[in-house]
Amino acid sequence: MKEEIQHKEVQDIIENSLPHIAIDCVILGYHSEEKSLKVLLLRFQGAKKWVLPGGFILKDEPVEEAAYRVLKNRTGLDNIYLKQFAVFGDPNRSKEHIEGADQIRNPWFNQRFISIGYYALVDYKSVNIAQDNVSEDIQWKEIDALPELGLDHSHILHNGLFSLRESLSLHPVGRSLLPEQFTLPELQSLYEIILGRTLNRGNFYRKIMNYNLLIDTGEIKTTKGHRSPKLYAFNKETYDDAVKNGLQSIW
């Protein structure tokens, strides 16, 4: 019965999707307790290597709608921060088979594919990971402890991270990754983990407050043995404007 379901899903993809073009998604989630950045990866049935979640574009579907559909199917979330960062078109990128993955042995999957790369920032705790009938496992993996990736997905992942780090010079992040209320040290920790370097605390606080991105909630976070820090929330209006029009500054 399971094999019949898998076969039907594969046939639906072949019949309803555009050939030669695909979407690959770098879905990033921040684990605030562990202070780690994670990426969502999956393994096809019987495969040894992990890959990025992806999918295909339906014949009558806009490209960006396809990306949002793929993300919703994998995370259960709407209104995800999504950004296209590159197109991958090496002639040999589709020739490497994922060992053990029966469904990609179909000739349709072995044709040359150009892939559009998107990265997405999601609330780690809000994600409801969904597994389909052609994948064996789907898990969060730490950026600094990645398993071996199949196809050219290591290249895609590192390009996505590079693009995200570059975008921090012009656009804010955090609303999709942090809880509704957070402290300035928690926000700084997020930026440092994404950038891969330490930021000066005074400079970071001064810059982030000058952007008028934050609202002082009037509450504090109770901590043991330390001064209790203030809790902030993002100012939705100024945050959305900065996402659209940029911050015009460099970290």
Determine the pLDDT at residue 51. 93
pLDDT band for position 70 (cuts 50, 70, 90): confident
Give me the residues paired with residue 22 across strands.
Answer: 56, 115
> What tens digit of pLDDT does each residue of 113-153 get?
999 999 998 877 778 776 666 778 889 999 989 999 988 99
CATH superfamily of 2-153: Nucleoside Triphosphate Pyrophosphohydrolase (3.90.79.10)
- Amino acid 95: pLDDT: 62
Q: What is the mean pLDDT of the chain?
A: 85
**What's the pLDDT score for residue 114?**
93
Residue 105: predicted pLDDT: 59
**CATH class given for the domain over 184-245:** mainly alpha
Above pLDDT 90, what percent of the chain?
46
* Cβ(90)–Cβ(101) below 8 Å: no
In sequence order, which residues have a C-beta less than 8 Å from that of residue 244 and are 6 or more positions away?
none
Judged against a pLDDT cut of 60, whether residue 241 lies above it is answered with yes
Residue 100 has pLDDT above 80, yes or no: no
- How far is the C-alpha of 210 from the C-alpha of 193, rounded, in Å? 22
Q: Is the pLDDT of residue 221 over 80?
A: yes
Per domain, the residue ranges of the chain are: 2-153, 184-245
Indicate whether 250 pLDDT > 60: no
Percent of the chain with pLDDT over 70: 88
User: Does the structure show a pLDDT above 60 at 190?
Assistant: yes
**pTM given for the model:** 0.84
In angstroms, the CA 97 to CA 168 distance is: 35
